Each structure stands twice: as structure tokens, then as C-alpha cells.
């Protein structure tokens, strides 16, 4: 019945039971186990390169722009003068590429736990790893949790580009990490974190937004559409002690806007307008969309 | 590599090359060939019932609400007093179920080409086919194109719930059909048509919106997120000669809003704000999101 031959990679996971996106692959370029995760990189037939960590698709080259642009530009355009930026995770370089588009940025720290992810993307995915070439970027290979703990009151924006809360990304979804980020940003700084999908992971989104609201006076949840993520959407949580993160305070220059394929000031606002059930998940602790979901 | 056993249905199609959503199925309930199409109905493990026509997923019970609500409520809440409604296609009953929520509605014609689709859904999917039980509904089994030709100046809203423009749905995407619908609605009537995905079918969306704009003074394109549609999104085209369809002119009552899982007056507006590349596809005739897409 499945009609799929051995060329296809199917993303089977308990995180989205009974559903699996399958991608037709021409060739497996990398297959290795690191101390942190199983890394696979494929050349697909129709989606460009594809990175898979522990059997979960992290990006396909064709649609990665949606996630990278929103995760980077939502917080950066909410800040009038972002200069010092920290990226946790993001070892593919895609977020760096987007952050580097902002002329105000003077320094970008990136802390990625797995050196092999950086190495693989630098070798095979220059369209994303080009972000590492910017002279403002300083890379640390290490634990993002510890990196945050060692920094106080120094970042305008912190971006957390993590994988799902299973495996190395798990502790980046907890209360303690959000408390530490609050200390690491300046008082008017902004955090932006990978916020999962209110379709596929409504319990995670509900709990995460409760954490964000507990620590930050201003907060919001934005989604973006990414065809090769489970269910086709993913989210970003924004938080700040002093800045309203629901509206951009700067617009891209015409030259920059022409380079962007997803972010606009209009979608910055519209991405916060969720379907009725999504509003209930994020703002009222309600249940998910499927018939088995309840509010607890 | 694909890890999928024979229980999984994989939606392989030239319409989305190299990508296939796979759904784990417990049992195939229906498998028959009609003069129009190949009909399969599955009991899935995690998504409820699933209808497949000519190897393309039409709905899964768990997320069909997103499409049905938007296709029905976008035009109906754009009209101050919708009384006489026509649904072309929609043999599963889902759009009928949503239209029937509007108290102002006095009569609903439904014209579906394939009696077997209605029969299968009435037997196996009562959560959607309940739409047929409303006493205001009159069903015609026949060709929607011919049905439209036979009606003049009589509908407040026409909803076209068609499959993709390959197979029986093909002529519902052409210039002639949009001209006929203009004659079948009242001068202040509104049309709402299945508008495909600006991710997966950007050429179809671009051409379709050019047709809509050619025939209707007011028009817009709205998207909704549906995890089990290719790429996770689908669209609705709205058109009218006299009514601004970009803003709702009525709000759901609190009782009705509590029943809805997707539509809100806020998402009516927000669903028109597209990612930068989507704006270019719909409003500037631009190319799609992937690297092989160009503007022609």
C-alpha cells in the first residue's frame, strides 16, 4: 500500500503518531553517530539537501527560509538597535545568515553542542553555512545551558534554535533555562525560542507559553508554515521584560525586503493570529485539535 | 530506509514530486472505482476516517474542520444576510455542516458529480455527512458546470469544494466556469472556491487569481493550515461584484464561536497576509518558493 521504495526517507516518530512525511532521496551523503545524536544528510530528489537528526527532519534546503527568517527577524525587528546577539543551537548556520542581514549587529555568539553538525553543514550545505563566514560571528562548541549561565546582562537578542524536547534539546524547554536567559539579556533584550507546533505538540506549546509568561512581562507566540515540518507549521515564542514584541519597531529596507522570502512586517503581526483552537491552546491552556485531545 | 510497512498509505503524486505524506491505517473500509474516480476510505490509527480519491487524500476526520470552516465561513460572514446557498462538490457533507450553522440560511443546493462519494460518507463518516440531514439541503447528483449554467441570479453565496485540477475537478478551475458563476450569483453575491496551495501549486494559484480578478471587482486569497494536506496548507479564493470580501461584515455569536475550531473574525483577515513569496505569487504573478520556481 505504501508504494515507497527504499529511496524514500520516512519521518516516523512517537511525537506525531500515525503520520509520517516521506521525502524521496537520491543519495545519503552523511551517516554518523556523535556523542549527542545520529546525524544523516541526504541529497533529495526535489527538496535540495536534507539534514536529519535522530530520525527527525531538521531542514530541507528548499523551505528552510521560512523557519530561519521568522526565528531571526521576529526578535530583531522588534528591537530598535540590536547589536549583540546570541544564538543557541543553529549549527547549520541558517539563523546566522539571517541575523547577519541586520547592519546594526556588531557581534554574534553561536553556541552549538555538536561540532559535527557544523562540520557537515559547512561541507555540504553552503547555502546555509554561509552564515558562519560573517566576520561578526564567534562560534563556541559547548552546552548552551552552561553558556547562558556564564553570561549576564549582555545580549540584545537571544535566539534558541533547538531541536525537539527529546534528546539534547530537552532542557532548553524548561523553567530554569528561561530564568537564565532573562539574566543573560539586557533589561530591554528579547528572547526568541523554537516554539514547536500547536497542531502536533499542543501540550508542549501550552506549557512552554506558561513558562514564557511567568518570566517575561511581554510575550507572544508566532507560527510559520514549513511544508517539510510535521503538520506543516512550527512556532516561535517571543519574550521581553521591557519591549512589546507583538509589533515590529523597524521595517526592512526595500533592499533587504527584496531578499526575504517569508518575513514581512505584516506577517509579523498576522503570525500571532491563531485558529480558534490554537488561541485556546496558547492563551487559555485549552486542548489540541484532534478528537483525543483534552485540556489536561 | 522508508520503515513503512504495508499498513501505511503514502500520498505519492506528480503534483508534489519527491514528497509524500504517509498515514498509518488500521483498515480499508471502501475500495471502488466509479465512472469518475477511484474511491478509498480508510480507518486510520490516529487521524480518524480518511477519504482518498484517485490516490489523493481528501480529508482526515481529525483536521477536516480547518478546511470546511474556512471554505464556508469566509464567504458567509462576508455577506450580511446569506439565504440561498449553492455548494458544488462537497459530497462528504462537511461544507454543508458548516453552512447550516448560519440561521439566516433558508436553502442549500448541493451538486455533487459522484453519488458514490455521498453514499460512502453517509455510511461511514457521520461526523461530516450530518450536513446532509439539515432540512434546508437539496442534493443534486450531476455536473456542477451544467448546474451553474442552468441557474441565473439566484444565489447569495456559491461555494466550490472541488478536488485538484486533475480529473473531474479540472474544468472548475477555468475562465468559463468563473464567468458562469458570476451569472448564477445575485449582483451582491459572493463566490468561494478551493484555491490550492501557494507552496505546492503556485502556478495554479497565480493563474486562478488572475481569473478571479478578471471576473470579480472584489477578490482575495485566504489560506488555512491543514496538517494532512500536501505541504500543510490550502487556500480559498473569494470574489464578488459588490461586496468587499476582505473583511467579515458579521461576527459569529458567542454560541457559534464556541463551536468553531478554526474560523474567527480575526483569522478571516490574517489568513490574507501571506509570506513574502506568497504575496508575489498571488498579487504580482511571481514564482514559487523552491529554487526551481521562476515567474513563468
Which residue in the set A6, A65, A200 is minimally distant from B1, CB to CB?
A6
In this model, does residue A292 exceed pLDDT 90?
Answer: no
Say if the Cβ atoms of A290 and B19 lie within 8 Å.
no
Q: What does the radius of gyration of chain A's CA atoms come to, in whole angstroms? A: 18
Residue A220 lies in a domain: yes
* B40 within domain boundaries: yes
Domain-located, residue A216? yes
* B3 domain-assigned: no
The answer to whether the beta carbons of residues B217 and B242 sit under 8 Å apart is yes
Contact residues, chain B, for A290 at CB < 8 Å: 46-47, 62-63
Q: Where are the alpha helices (DSSP H) in B77-160?
A: 94-99, 115-124, 126-129, 144-149
* B277/A262 CB distance under 8 A: yes
Same domain, residue pair B68 and B40: no
The CATH number of the domain where A92 resides is what? 3.40.50.150
DSSP state of B199: T
Q: CATH number of the domain that A28 lies in?
A: 2.30.140.10
Q: Can you give the residue range of the structural domain that contains B201?
A: 64-284
Q: Among candidates B57, B19, B23, which has minimal Cα distance to B38? A: B57
Q: Which residues of A are catalytic?
A: 161
Tens digits of residue pLDDT in A58-103: 999 999 999 999 999 999 999 999 999 999 999 999 999 999 999 9
In angstroms, the separation between the Cα of residue B273 and the nearest Cα of chain A is 6
Cβ atoms B160, B178 nearer than 8 A: no
CA distance from start to end of chain A: 36
Residue B296 inside a domain? The answer is: no
| B223 shares a domain with B135 | yes
Name the grid cell of A236: 516561535
Residue of B nearest to A23 (CA): B19
Active site residues per annotation of B: 161
Cross-chain Cβ contact B22/A10 below 8 Å: yes
- Please identify, among B31, B60, B89, the residue that sits at the C-terminal boundary of a domain: B60
Residue A93 to chain B, least CA–CA distance (Å): 19
> Where do runs of H (alpha helix) occur along chain A?
64-76, 94-99, 115-124, 126-129, 144-149, 175-184, 202-215, 254-259, 265-270, 276-284
Residues A98, A181, single domain; the answer is yes
- Domain termination site, one of A60, A76, A98: A60
C-alpha span between B63 and A99 (Å, rounded): 35
B235 & B279 share domain = yes
ipTM for the predicted complex: 0.95
Q: Do residues B18 and B93 share a domain?
A: no
B23 with A18: Cβ contact below 8 A: yes
Whether residue A85 sits in one domain with residue A17: no
Structural domain includes residue A226: yes
A230 and A267 share one domain: yes
Pair (A277, A174) in one structural domain: yes
Taking every pair of Cα atoms in chain B, the longest distance, rounded to a whole number of angstroms, is 57
Is A1 a domain residue? no
Predicted structure pTM score: 0.96
Å between B246 CA and nearest CA of chain A: 14
Q: Indicate whether A13 and A81 sit together in one domain.
A: no
Residues A111 and A245 in one domain: yes
The answer to whether B227 contacts A44, with C-beta atoms less than 8 Å apart, is no
Residues of chain A with C-beta less than 8 angstroms from the C-beta of B21: 19-22
Q: What is the pLDDT along chain B (296 residues), one digit of tens a residue?
A: 556 888 999 999 999 999 999 999 999 999 999 999 999 999 999 999 999 999 999 999 999 999 999 999 999 999 999 999 999 999 999 999 999 999 999 999 999 999 999 999 999 999 999 999 999 999 999 999 999 999 999 999 999 999 888 777 788 888 999 999 999 999 999 999 999 999 999 999 999 999 999 999 999 999 999 999 999 999 999 999 999 999 999 999 999 999 999 999 999 999 999 999 999 999 998 888 875 554 43
pLDDT per position as a tens digit, A186-230: 999 999 999 999 999 999 999 999 999 999 999 999 999 999 999
Between CA A21 and CA B16 the distance in angstroms is 12
Alpha-carbon distance of A148 to A169, in angstroms, equals 14
User: CB A227 to CB B232 under 8 A?
Assistant: yes
Answer yes or no: do A22 and A144 share one domain: no
* B127 and B149 assigned to the same domain: yes
> Is residue A198 in a domain?
yes
Choose the final residue of a domain: A43, A60, A77. A60
Domain count, chain A: 2
Amino acid at each position: 500500500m505504501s508504494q515507497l521504495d527504499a529511496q524514500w526517507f520516512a519521518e516516523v516518530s512517537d511525537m506525531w503518531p500515525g503520520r509520517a512525511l516521506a521525502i524521496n532521496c537520491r543519495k545519503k551523503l552523511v551517516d554518523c553517530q556523535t556523542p549527542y545524536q545520529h546525524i544523516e544528510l541526504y541529497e533529495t530528489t526535489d527538496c535540495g539537501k536534507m539534514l536529519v537528526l535522530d530520525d527527525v527532519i531538521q531542514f530541507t534546503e528548499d523551505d528552510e527560509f521560512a523557519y530561519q527568517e521568522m526565528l531571526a527577524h521576529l526578535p530583531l525587528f522588534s528591537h530598535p538597535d540590536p547589536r549583540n546577539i546570541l544564538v543557541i543551537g543553529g549549527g547549520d548556520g541558517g539563523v546566522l545568515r539571517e541575523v547577519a542581514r541586520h547592519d546594526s549587529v556588531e557581534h554574534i555568539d553561536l553556541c552549538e553542542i555538536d561540532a559535527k553538525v557544523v562540520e557537515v553543514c559547512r561541507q555540504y550545505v553552503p547555502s546555509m553555512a554561509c552564515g558562519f563566514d560573517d566576520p561578526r560571528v564567534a562560534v563556541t562548541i559547548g552546552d548552551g545551558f552552561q553558556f547562558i549561565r556564564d553570561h549576564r546582562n549582555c545580549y540584545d537578542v537571544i535566539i534558541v534554535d533547538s531541536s525537539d524536547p527529546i534528546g539534547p534539546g530537552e532542557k532548553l524547554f524548561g523553567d530554569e533555562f528561561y530564568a537564565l536567559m532573562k539574566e543573560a539579556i539586557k533589561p530591554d533584550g528579547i528572547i526568541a525560542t523554537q516554539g514547536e507546533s500547536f497542531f502536533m505538540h499542543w501540550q508542549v506549546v501550552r506549557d512552554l507559553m506558561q513558562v514564557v509568561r511567568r518570566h517575561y512581562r511581554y510575550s507572544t507566540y508566532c507560527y510559520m508554515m514549513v511544508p517539510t515540518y510535521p503538520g506543516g507549521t512550527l512556532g516561535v515564542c517571543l519574550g521581553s521584560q521591557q519591549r512589546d514584541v507583538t509589533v515590529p519597531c523597524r521595517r526592512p529596507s526595500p533592499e533587504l525586503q527584496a531578499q526575504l522570502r517569508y518575513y514581512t512586517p505584516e506577517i509579523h503581526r498576522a503570525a500571532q493570529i491563531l485558529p480558534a483552537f490554537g488561541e485556546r491552546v496558547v492563551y487559555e491552556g485549552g486542548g489540541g485539535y484532534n478528537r483525543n485531545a483534552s485540556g489536561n
